Chain A
Amino acid sequence: MATVSISHVSKRFGDVQAVADVSFSLEPGEIFGLLGPNGAGKTTTIRMMLDIFRPDSGEIRLFGGSLNEDTKKRIGYLPEERGLYKDLKLEPTLVYFATLKGLSEADARARLEGWLQRFDLYAHRNKKVQELSRGMQQKAQLIATLLHEPDLIVIDEPFAGLDPVNTRLVKEIIEEQRQAGKTILMSTHQMQQVEALCTRIALINRGRTVLYGPVEQIKRDFAGNAVIVEGQGEVGDGDGLFQARHENGEWRLTLEPGVSPQMVLRALAERDGLQIERFEIAEASLDDVFVTVVRGDREADDA
C-alpha cells in the first residue's frame, strides 16, 4: 500500500491554474523528490496533500484513506516558509506544536532535549524565536517536524539557510529517518541533494507531472542528452545543437531536444581549430535533466 497516492489532482485560484494534472505516489520507506521550477505547483500540490487546500478534482489518499484527524498526527510538515511564533520562546513553542500532534507535554519535553542538543540549540531554548538566526530557525522548524516521530515527513526546501555543516547534519537525519522506515517527501531546488538522497522523483512543470520515476532510470534515459569533450581549441557556439560549458578542463555539452550525440560529433569534427581528444556520452546530472525538461517544455509551448 502506497503511503501517499495522488491521482490527477488539479487546483485553480481565480484565473490561475496552479495545478492542472499531477499524479505520483510515495512508497513506504522511500525518500521521494518533488521537483519543479518556481511556480510549477509543487507547494500547492503539497498543501492539497495536507488538506490545507482542497483539490478541484482528482484524488488524494494517505495511508490508504483520506486525511483525517488521526492521520494528521502521523505527518510531520516543514513548510517552505518558516511558521513558528516569532514572539514566543523556542522551547514552549516546540512543546506546543508537539502536543498538538498528540504528544503529552512531559513526553514532548523529554524528547526535545535530545533534539535541541543535537542541533546545537539547547543553549538558545529560552530565547524568542525572532532572536534566532535564519539557520537556527530552520533547524528549530525541523525539530517541530520530527519531534512527534511521524510516519510521513514532508519537507519543503529543508536546506534553505543552512551552512555546509548543518546541511550535512540535516542530510544525515533525513537518511536516518528513511532507515527507520519513515516515508519522506522532499521538495528542493538543490539537485545534488536530490541525487544524494532520493530514490524516486516527480518533476512538475506548469502544474503537470512531466517526469516521474526512479532517479537512476531517469538519469540513464537522459544520458544521451549530454556529452563530455576534451581536446585542444575552442568548442564555441553550439549552433542550436547544444549548450556548452567549460568545467574542470573539459567541455560539457548539454544537447538540445532531438539532437543525438552523433550529430554533435559530426558538427564538432568539421570545426577548424578544434582537435578532439576525448568524446564520451555523459551520465546526465539531475540538474541537466531538470534544465532540459523545463526548457523543452517552454520551447514546445512557444512553438
Chain B
Amino acid sequence: MRELWLVAKHEYLRMVRRRAFLLGTLAMPLLIIVITAISVTIAIGKRDDRPLGYVDQAGVLSAAVQPASSGERVVELRAFADTQAAEGALQAGQIQGYYVLPADYMQSGQVHLYYWENAPTDAVQQQFDHFIRANLAAGLPPDVQQRAIEGSSVTIRSADGKREINNQNWIALVLPFVASFFFVMAVMTSGGYLLQAVTTEKENRTMEVMITSLTPEQLVSGKAAGLMAVSLTQIGIWTLAVVIGLIVGAQYFAPLRQAEVPWGMLGIAVLYFLPSYVLVAGIMVAIGSAVTEIQQGQQIAGLINLLFFVPFFFLALVIANPDSPVLVALSLFPTTAFMTITMRWSLAVVPLWQMAVSWILLVASAAGSLWVSARVLRAGMLRYGQRLNLRGVWRAVRPLTR
C-alpha cells in the first residue's frame, strides 16, 4: 500500500507541476470568467429603466391590478389612450416600447410589441406578461390568481418516492450534459497523460528499475490513483469556477437565482466517475505497455475514446425517449454507463435495478482492466521496438501462463 501511495503521489506532483496542466486547467475558469464578465457587461449596458407603455384596446387591463407576488417590479408600466399617444412617447424617448392589446384580444390572444432598435429585456416582457395574467385572473381568489400567474410546476416521482424530477430545476437538466463534458475532457486529458507516462517509461527504461522495486499491480494502481487525483483536481477547479460564475451571474440574471444544487445527481456522478476513470486508466496502461511508440498508442486510444463518446451520438434519443432499450443497453455497458446514466437521470426515473447492475458491471470491469493492464505491462514493457500483438496480450492475461 505504501508503494501504491508513493507512486500516486509522485505521478500527481509530476503532472500538476507541468505547464501544460496548469494552462489546460486554468484556461477553463478563465474562459468562464471572460464569458461571465462579457455577459454582465452586456446586461448592465442594456439595462433600460424607462417605462413600458401599453394601449389596451380590448379593455381588460387596469393599472390598479398588480400581480400579488410576481417578483420585483422592473420598470413602470404606463397606460396610453391610443396608439398615436404611445407612438409619440416612443419617438420622444419617454418609453422603451409599448404593447397593444387589440380589441379581439380575448378571442385571439394576440398582443403586439412596438420598439425602436432594442427590444425590452426578457425580464421587462415577463413583467408585462404577469400584469396581463393578474388582470385576467383579477376576479379569482388570491391563491388561484397566483397559480395562474406562475404557471404549473410538474414533478415526476418514482413509485417509491425516492427519486423526483422537477422541470423548474433547470440545473438538474443541464448538469448531466456539463458533467459528461467534464468527464470526457478529464478522460481525454488524463488518459493521454497516462498513456504518455507509460510509453515514455517503457521507452527510457525507467520501467525496468520501477518493476524491481514494486509489483506491476502496485505500479499500475498507483499511476491510476495519481492521475485520477489530477483529474479530480482539475474538475474541482472547474466546478469551483462554474459555481463562482453562477453566484456572480445570479446577481444579474434572475433565472440563475432559481438554480438548486442537485445533490443526488452529483452523488451519482461521483459514484460513476471513479470506477469509470479506473477503467480508462487500465485501458490506457495496457495500450501504453503493448505499443512501442506514443503515436501508435494515441491512435488506438483515439478509437477507445470513441467507446466513451457513444452516448453523445444518442443525445436526441435521450431527450425524446430516455427509457429506450438502446439507452438501457448503453447504461449497462461499462464504457458508456456513466454518461448515459447521468444524462437519463435528468429526464427520466432510472430504475434502481439498472443502476445497480450497471454500477456493479462498471466496478467489475474497472477492477478487471487494472488486472489485465498489470499483466500486459509485464508482458509488453520490455519488448523494446517490438509491438505486443493481440495473441501476446491474450497470452499475458491468461492466468495459467503465469
A86 touches B213 (CB 8 A): no
- If A83-B209, A100-B6, A100-B213 touch, whether A47 touches B382 (CB-CB below 8 Å) is yes
In the complex, A79 has a CB within 8 A of chain B: yes
Contacts of A47 in B (CB 8 A): 208, 382
Closest to B222 in A: A100
In the complex, B251 has a CB within 8 A of chain A: no
User: A303 CB to closest chain B CB, in angstroms?
Assistant: 33
The proximity string for A residues 86-105 relative to B, scoring 1 for CB distances below 8 Å and 0 otherwise, is 10100000001101110000
In the complex, A279 has a CB within 8 A of chain B: no
Contacts of B209 in A (CB 8 A): 77, 79, 83-84, 97, 144
- Count of chain A residues near B, Cβ 8 A: 26
B204 touches A83 (CB 8 A): yes
Secondary structure dominating the interface of A: loop
Contacts of A302 in B (CB 8 A): none
A101 touches B208 (CB 8 A): no
In the complex, A69 has a CB within 8 A of chain B: yes
User: B316 CB to closest chain A CB, in angstroms?
Assistant: 45
- Choose from A53, A88, A101 the contact partner of B213 (Cβ within 8 Å): A101
The proximity string for A residues 173-214 relative to B, scoring 1 for CB distances below 8 Å and 0 otherwise, is 000000000000000000000000000000000000000000
Contacts of A245 in B (CB 8 A): none
A100 touches B382 (CB 8 A): no
Contacts of B211 in A (CB 8 A): 50-52
Closest to B381 in A: A52
Contacts of A73 in B (CB 8 A): 213
Contacts of B402 in A (CB 8 A): 54
Interface centre among A51, A53, A83, A84 (most CB of B within 10 A): A83
Contacts of B206 in A (CB 8 A): 83-85
B3 touches A52 (CB 8 A): no
- Choose from A77, A100, A144 the contact partner of B3 (Cβ within 8 Å): A100
The proximity string for B residues 119-155 relative to A, scoring 1 for CB distances below 8 Å and 0 otherwise, is 0000000000000000000000000000000000000
B215 touches A50 (CB 8 A): no
Contacts of A85 in B (CB 8 A): 14, 201, 204, 206
In the complex, A239 has a CB within 8 A of chain B: no
A72 touches B382 (CB 8 A): no
User: B108 CB to closest chain A CB, in angstroms?
Assistant: 72
A100 touches B208 (CB 8 A): no
B205 touches A72 (CB 8 A): no
Contacts of A19 in B (CB 8 A): none
B204 touches A86 (CB 8 A): yes
Provide the bound-state CA to CA distance between A82 and B201, in Å.
11
Contacts of A50 in B (CB 8 A): 211-212
User: B388 CB to closest chain A CB, in angstroms?
Assistant: 11
User: B259 CB to closest chain A CB, in angstroms?
Assistant: 43
B204 touches A79 (CB 8 A): no
User: A255 CB to closest chain B CB, in angstroms?
Assistant: 39
Q: Which residues of A9-66 have CB atoms within 8 Å of chain B's CB atoms?
A: 13, 47, 50-54
A82 touches B205 (CB 8 A): yes
User: B377 CB to closest chain A CB, in angstroms?
Assistant: 11
- If A53-B382, A79-B205, A83-B204 touch, whether A69 touches B215 (CB-CB below 8 Å) is yes
A96 touches B6 (CB 8 A): yes
Q: Which residues of B191-214 have CB atoms within 8 Å of chain A's CB atoms?
A: 201, 204-214
The proximity string for A residues 149-178 relative to B, scoring 1 for CB distances below 8 Å and 0 otherwise, is 000000000000000000000000000000
- Given contacts A72-B213, A82-B204, A85-B14, list 9 more A-B pairs with CB under 8 A: A13-B383, A50-B211, A52-B211, A52-B212, A77-B209, A81-B208, A83-B209, A100-B210, A100-B213
Identify the A interface with B (CB < 8 A).
13, 47, 50-54, 69, 72-73, 75, 77, 79, 81-86, 88, 96-97, 99-101, 144
